[in-house]
Structures are given as C-alpha cells and as structure tokens.
Amino acid sequence: MRSSSKCLLSFAFVLLSLAPALAQTYRSELQLGVDAYKAAHYEEAIQHFKKAIELDPSQVNAHMYLATTYVSQFIPGVDSPDNNALAENAIEEYRHVLDMEGPVESKLNSSKGIAYLYLNMKQFPEAKEYYQKASSIDPNDPEPYYSIGVIDWTQSYQPRMEARARLGMRPEEQLNAKDPAQRKVCDELRVKSESVVEDGIDNLNKAIQLRPDNDDAMAYMNLMYRERADLECENPAARQEDLETADHWVDETLRVKKMKAEKSQKLPPPTAPNPQ
C-alpha cells in the first residue's frame, strides 16, 4: 500500500512539473501561428493554431485565430470546392467558440463571422439565423440589423425581378392589377414576400435608430419601400405613399453622405512627426 502511494505521489509530481511546459508549448504554438499569419504564411499558421488547440482545446483564442486564418483566404462570391471548404472550416471553428465558455465579444464576432460566410455563399436563411443570434448577444449593435435588412431585400427583389422578366415588363413598370397575368403575379409575390419586406423595414429601422448616420441602411430603406410599393398593385394610394417614403430615404441618404463629406473636409490634416 505504501509503495502504491509513493508511485501515485511521484506521478502527480511529474504531471505538475509538466504542466508549465505544456502551457508554454501552447503559448509558443499560438505565437508561431500569429507570426506566420502576419507574414501571410496561412498554411503554416493553420498548422500552428491546430497544434495549439490540440495542446489546450479550452482556449478560445486559438479557435478564433484559426477561423480568422481560414476567412483571410476565403474569396467572397467564388463558388468552388476549395473556397467553400475554407468557409466551412472557419464556420466549424466559430461554432466551437459559441459552444465554449468565453468572452461575449468572441461569441458576437463568431456569430457575425458565420453569418458573413453564409451570406457570401448565398445561404440566406443560415446567414439570417446567425445575424439574429448576434442581435440576441448584443441588441445595441446596428450591423446585424442592417445585414438582415440586406438579406430580406435580396430575397424579395430577386423573385420579383424574375417574375417581371417572365411577363416581359420593363424595370420601371409597376404591376397592374387590371391585367390578369400581372395581378396573378402580384398576388403570388405578396404571399411570398410581404412578410420578408416588413421584416426588412423593421430591421433597417433598428439599424438607423442605433446609428442615425447609417447611410447604407437608409439606401436600403429606399429600396425596401420600392419593393413594398410594387406589391401594392391593388391599392394605388398605398403604392404612392410607399414611393414617397422611398424618395424620402433617398433624400436622407444624400443628406447624410453630404454631411459626412463636409465633416471629413473640416478635419485638420495629420501632424508631421517632429524629428529629433
């Protein structure tokens, strides 16, 4: 019994003596990965970050760095197996962060990172889901609300343009309820897109409330109200009201852009360093 106790005690001392070395190895691998990343040696960085995760899977930073390295190589809009694999690898690491105990900021950035990748892969429901997760983590961040608005506009605009093209309509033409074919299309689009348009308007409003100089959100508010106007084919008064609201957001977008330009012109030039 005494011999067994001595063995266990010796084994414990060995583990304790190895712990600092293992921790240092994790830190070393992480730093090597950071150095390789800064030098744009992405494959080398990936190997170091993976090794760091093997040494200590509980560390959020290694997963975040690894995800960032994958994203740095991802090319938005390119639909290829290699490019999609980079996105999926990054998403996997971001999901690890969401499942771990860690800083709120890391979870927020992971949700937004996943949403960004899905958005650029045109997987809109998944992108919207993770932007909504980001909003639940930080309700005062305008970016997810704006991004959801952009997704909603895309999901309403594309089917509307496709339907109009099938009817041989010009872009500036409004759907006319007096034309049976156009009325049918209008009814179908309203069923499909009305709730999407309303959701987009609500989210863009939140983005603007949180950042009143958000000219990008204002520009999409203009577009979203034009989407809604085209669904008002049986209500000319409501259509006209929506078009006037869209014009208002055009004016607001231009006003804010002008204000920002004037403000940037008034900024003092950078001061040159004083040589010693």
| Calpha distance 227→236 (Å, rounded) | 14
Tokens 């055009």, residue located: 250
Per-residue pLDDT at 136? 96
pLDDT for residue 8 is more than 50: no
Task: Kindly report the number of other CB atoms within 10 A of residue 262's CB atom.
Answer: 9
| CB 253, CB 219: distance < 8 Å | yes
| Report for 52-61, 209-218, 264-273: range of highest mean pLDDT | 209-218
**Mean pLDDT rounded to a whole number for the chain:** 88
Tokens 């961040």, residue located: 141
Per-residue pLDDT at 3? 47
Per-residue pLDDT at 42? 95
Per-residue pLDDT at 273? 54
Task: List CB contacts of 56: < 8 A, sequence separation 6 or more.
Answer: 22, 23, 26, 62
Give the predicted TM-score (pTM) of the model.
0.82
Q: Is 272 left (phi over 0), alpha (psi -120 to 50) or beta?
A: beta
Pick from 90, 157, 158, 76: nearest CA to 130: 90
- Taking residues 159-163, what's their average pLDDT? 91
| Calpha distance 128→147 (Å, rounded) | 8
| CB 242, CB 232: distance < 8 Å | yes
